[in-house]
Structure 1
Amino acid sequence: MSLWTEFFKDPVIFFSFSGLAIVIGMCVFYAIFFYLKMIKSERKRKKSN
């Protein structure tokens, strides 16, 4: 049986990997979000000095 068909037929595998993808997506989003906020804050701090 193909791994691709097994992924969609077994709900445990589907929901596990879907949940994992959501969590990893959130981690990437917040890492980029806080990195950009940090850069903006550093630029603002350098301008005021």
Structure 2
Amino acid sequence: MKALTDLLSTDYGLMSLLVIAFTIFMSIWFGRFFKRHIEEDAARAARADQSAKL
């Protein structure tokens, strides 16, 4: 209980909570960013293969 109180009521606890939230947000953002670009590159490579066969 003391740890939760420290987390929510002290300056170092709030900063830790902010860093944890920021880290989670960035991991989600990077995952979506990489997934989108991987799919775009795969589609571009498929189009290049298709046009090379013609």
* TM-score over 0.5 (shorter chain): yes
State percent identity of aligned pairs: 16
So what's the TM-score if we normalise by structure 1? 0.78
Please say which structure displays the higher CA radius of gyration. Answer: 2
Segments of structure 2 that go 5 or more residues without pairing to the other structure are 50-54
1:3-22 CA deviation, whole Å, 9 max, x = no partner? Answer: 6xx71x31122111101101
Unaligned runs of 5+ in 1: none
Aligned residues: 45
Q: Structure 1 segments of 4 or more deviating over 6 A?
A: none
Residues 1-49 of structure 1 mapped to structure 2, 5 A cutoff: 7=8, 9-49=9-49
Superposition CA RMSD, Å:
1.6
